[in-house]
Structure 1
Amino acid sequence: MSPEEFRRQGHAAIDWIADYWASLDDLPVRAQVAPGDVRRQLPASAPEAGEPFDAVLADLDRVVVPGLTHWQHPRFFAYFPANSSPAAILGDLLSSGIGAQGMIWATSPAVTEVEQVVLDWFAEALGLPEDFRSDGPGGGVIQDTASTATFTALLAALHRASGGEVRRHGLGDAGWRVYGSTQAHSSLVKAAIMAGLGEDAVRAIGVDPLTQAMDLDALRAAIEADVELGLTPVLVHLAAGSTSTGAMDDVVGAGRIAREHGAWVHVDAAWAGVAAVCPEHRAHLAGVESADSFVTNPHKWLLTTFDCSTFWVRDRAALTGALSILPEYLRNAASESGEVVDYRDWHPQLGRRFRAIKLWAVLRTYGLEGLRAHIRSGVELAAHVADLVAADDRFEMVTEPSLSLVVFRLTAGDEQTLAAMEEVNASGEAYLSHTTVEGRAAIRLAVGSWRTTEADVDRTWRALQEAAAAQD
């Protein structure tokens, strides 16, 4: 593809994306295909001769779009949002065009230093402590997802707790234990599995029935019982906005208990952390200044194309001590000078792409004012949903709204709740997801798209009301 052909096809690709966005309102939110439908439309083998790029774009419309669930649809309310935005897409395109490999500072200094500056900007915007800045003892790095960040935090915690023995000799017989609430993300258990601790090393701590936040008395009791048995608490995972209900663990209280026993405190604010760009939405991060690590995902609710998970540590020594390996082929004067950061030591993988450029683009083009307006809009629309629930006696709230997440159900029961949700989803009118709270089914409605309006919320609510009427 010549430069001129690339230019022409690049314009066509951008036009396709713009047309796709423009068409979303008229498309069913959830994919309307059966298993194997997409695969059957594709040839069994790759073409021997090259095809024009126009053919790829044509097959997007013919094959791909009908098999998509449209995460950028204004009535996508399932799970949590996976925001994209024009600025982020252009930033990602630039990253792909540059094609730099930023594994160490020397392989592309700008990749490292832009990331450091952008994460310092973002830490300041969120009100995070000075220790998390790149000129302090800690610093930040962009991971792919919060799951990787949790795994990375656990590796750093094991290194610190063992004085480096885990790195040198393996887990040994210390009986390491990890703690998280019953509402903690499943990535906590996966991190324990990958670290070689196993599922049984994770203690699931009960929660308050009303708030779904971790029960601190239960946490203390579990840790003390383990210590009495000769086991070693290594990490306490705290949710600042759980996936199921948006529950906010008490970071101050739980952190105090963890530190009494030398355990690493990891705050998982994957979805809700970005709300802290608004000073009035920072209460759930109280106590983060004493956490050992913190993660939040701009790729969920802050207009930054997947993948972009921002992870900070208060003391980088434990992190790099756990993960730094320097083969001869990576040795260079800059690394050996100690004056630069090599991000290969900050996560499990060696290779890394220029993720920071899309967050940089978002921060600069929207500005903090624009980002605050986006977050506030989501919170206001969730409050509107809560008002709609309160005004219809067929529905009831399950928990208090958590920022832009509303959890509710039909009073008629679990079967009716799930049936109404599935009717809306199957129609393509909107897409919602569910959870269980205290053993009962509930519908989750998570606002977050930059394209969602009150009219989209109202249209979804009418569809839910019609589905509820069908259950009477």
Structure 2
Amino acid sequence: MDSREFQKNAHEIVDWMAGYMDKVADYPVRAQTAPGEIKAQLPALPPEGGEPFADLMADFERIIVPGVTHWQHPRFFAYFPANVTPPSVLAEMLVSAMGVNAMLWETSPAATELEEQMLAWLGTMLKLPKDWSGVIQDTASSATFCAVLMARERATDWAVNADGLQDAPKLAFYTSAEAHSSLEKAVKMAGLGRASLRFVPTDKDRAMQPAALAAMMEEDRKNGVKPAMVMATVGTTGVGACDPLQAIGIIARANGALFHVDAAWAGSAMICPEFRHLLDGIESADSFVFNPHKWMGVQFDCSAHYVRERETLVRTFSIAPAYLKTREGVTDYRDWGIQLGRRMRALKLWFVIRSYGVEGLRTMIRNHVAWARELADVIRTTDDFELVTGPILSLMSFRYRPKGMEDEAVDALSDRLLQAVNDDGFTYLTRTLVDDRPVIRIQIGAVQTERSHVMAAWDKVVEIARGLS
């Protein structure tokens, strides 16, 4: 494909993309294909010769698009969104064309210095401590893994990086059962084993109980186990619970444990002054992460990771073979995480923040929260429905509970309703457990969502529920 062909084909793709943005609401939200249906349409062997681009696009529309779950759909209320806005898409097109690898300052000074400034912008928007340093990771899971490795090295005086785990002391990592599973995965990947995890009891709001955390740490110390890290959450995945950061930070610091805060979803809402109180106490954290790609209109993947002491993070990851040694006095982000090669993720942040302005992003978030509160009121007053949790920001859960039905039957009916709603394709919701019982979880956050989409989705849920009973 030469430059002329590329230009012609690129225009065709841009036309398709613009049309997709306009008509995404016409698709079923969740893919309606059966398992194996897409793969069955793909040849078993690759072609020996090249094929016309027109054939590629035709097969893309015929085979691939029907098997896509449309995360940009305005009635996507399932997982936390992976939002896309036009400026973000355009930035990614430029990055793709340049093929930048932002591993070192020298491999692209613009990528590094733009990343530094975008982290500074985000820090200002969230009112984070001015002396923190930041890096863009791919996901919050990677940031959590970095925090676990930092905690491991700090707790062992850097001995594990040097000598391995064989002589390392027993370490403990604390979080609540409501927290994201990324901590458990990170602890396993760090070679520390699931036995080093401690799940701290939660209160009636499903937030971590500081007194219980302190007691567990004291018990571990008595048993020769060293507290290494506490992970608090602002906006848990299941129900949106927010841990009390100030009290937890005091306890973590008193026990010499690294304090990591995961606000992957809810962090974006902290640009609104009325929600910022959920981050009260963040100044005591050693590590903090949130995902602009979830609720700030920035295309996946883009996870903002901040640390109090950049030296701890860099010392944990730095390896300096001769071919990577360059000038001093600059930031080389290869030392700030797992990957050597890194995408230029800061450009889409720059494009989105400049295109919408902070106030434009606040308006989107405020609308989602307002519609969630309105929907919660509707659920409370709808016969045979029960609001179980929330709303916390734009997240809540509910169940269908016809009068006189026993709990066991209600739980089975809840699962049947969720499957029927998602199979229908009009909207997309998810399941979670609250007090070990299934509920239906709904979260409002897609860029193209309007109030009408929220209410239409609820009407469909009620219609399908009545049909089941």
TM-score range, shorter chain: over 0.9
Mapped pair 1:374 → 2:364: yes
Within a 5 Å distance, the mapping from 1:67-146 to structure 2 comes to 67-132=67-132, 139-146=133-140
Q: Answer yes or no: is 1:190 the counterpart of 2:182.
A: no
Q: In structure 2, what is the equivalent of residue 3 of structure 1?
A: 3
Alpha-carbon distance in structure 2 between the residues aligned to 1:448 and 1:53: 35
Q: Match of 1:235, as an amino acid?
A: M
Match of 1:176 in 2: 171
1:293 aligns with 2:290: no
- Write the distance in 2 (CA, Å) between the matches of 1:384 and 1:79: 20
- Cα distance in 2 between the residues matched to 1:48 and 1:158: 50
**How big is the shift at 1:404?**
0.9
Runs of 4+ in 1 over 6 A off after TM superposition: none
Task: Structure 2: give runs of 5+ residues left out of the alignment.
Answer: 403-409
Q: Retained in 2: the 8 A contact 1:157–1:318?
A: no
CA contact under 8 A between 1:176 and 1:201: conserved in structure 2?
yes
Which stretch has the larger CA shift, 58-67 or 167-176?
A: 167-176
Letter in 1 for 2:335: D
Q: Residues 206-228 of structure 1: CA distance to partner in whole angstroms, max 9, x if unpaired?
A: 211x3111122221111111011
2:436 counterpart (421, 436, 439): 439
Q: Aligned-pair distance for 1:277?
A: 1.1
Matched, 1:159 2:156: no
Q: Which of 393, 403, 407 pairs up with 2:397?
A: 407
Q: What is the match of residue 48 of structure 2?
A: 48
Deviates more, 1:6-15 or 1:413-422: 413-422
Amino acid at match of 2:142: T
Q: CA deviation at 1:389?
A: 0.6
Match of 2:261 in 1: 267
- Contact 1:30/1:428 (<8 A) preserved: yes
| Percent identity of equivalent pairs | 48
Are residues 1:416 and 2:413 paired?
A: yes
Instruction: Measure how far apart 1:194 and its partner are.
Output: 0.6
For 1:166 and 1:61, how far apart are their aligned partners in 2?
51
Contact 2:159–2:168 (CA<8 Å) still a contact in 1? no
Give 3-state SS (helix, strand or coil) of 2:15's partner: helix
Is the aligned partner of 1:390 residue 2:377? no
Partner SS state of residue 306, structure 2: strand
1:216 to 204, 210, 216: 210
State which of 453, 461, 464 in structure 2 corresponds to 1:464: 461
Q: Given residue 96 of structure 2, which amino acid in structure 1 is its aligned partner? A: S
What is the alpha-carbon distance in structure 2 between the residues aligned to residue 25 and residue 163 of structure 1? 54
In structure 2, the partner of 1:330 is 324
Letter in 1 for 2:464: A
C-alpha displacement at 1:254, in angstroms?
1.0
Q: CA deviation at 1:25?
A: 1.7
Match of 2:406 in 1: none
Return the alpha-carbon distance in structure 2 between the equivalents of residues 131 and 83 of structure 1: 29
Structure 1 residue 398 displacement after superposition: 1.3
Partner of 1:231: 225
Contiguous gaps of at least 5 residues in structure 1: 133-138
Structure 1 partner of 2:299: 305
1:15 counterpart residue number: 15
Q: Which letter does structure 1 place at the counterpart of 2:227?
A: P
Deviates more, 1:54-63 or 1:283-292: 54-63
Deviates more, 1:159-168 or 1:354-363: 159-168
Q: Where does residue 58 of structure 2 map in the other structure? A: 58
Quote how far apart the aligned CAs of 1:429 are: 0.8
For this pair of structures, how many residues does the alignment match?
461
Distance 2:8 2:271 in 1: 39
Counterpart-to-counterpart distance in 2, 1:421 and 1:437? 15
Query: Which amino acid counterpart does residue 105 of structure 1 have in structure 2?
Result: W
What's the secondary structure of 2:289's corresponding residue?
strand
Assess if the C-alpha contact under 8 Å between 2:156 and 2:168 holds in 1. Answer: no
Q: Which amino acid aligns with 1:253?
A: A
Q: Which position in structure 2 is the counterpart of 1:136? A: none
Amino acid in the other structure paired with 2:276: R
C-alpha displacement at 1:185, in angstroms?
0.6
**SS of residue paired to 2:442:** strand
TM-score by length of 2: 0.96
Q: CA deviation at 1:17?
A: 1.2
Whether the aligned pair in 1 keeps the contact of 2:160 and 2:168 (CA below 8 Å) is no
- State whether residues 396 and 411 of structure 1, in contact with CA within 8 Å, keep that contact through their aligned partners in structure 2: yes
Name the amino acid aligned to 1:13: I
Tell me if the contact between 1:159 and 1:321 (Cα under 8 Å) persists in the aligned partners: no
Is this contact kept in 2: 1:421–1:467, CA < 8 A? no
Instruction: Name the SS of the counterpart of 1:400 in structure 2.
Output: strand
1:390-445 alpha-carbon deviations (Å, 9 max, x no partner)? 11131112122110111111224211222222211111010000100111111111
DSSP-derived class of the 1:158 partner? helix
State the match for 1:315 in structure 2.
Answer: 309
Q: 8 Å contact 1:38–1:63 — kept in the other structure?
A: yes
For residues 407 and 49 of structure 1, what CA distance do their matches in structure 2 show?
52
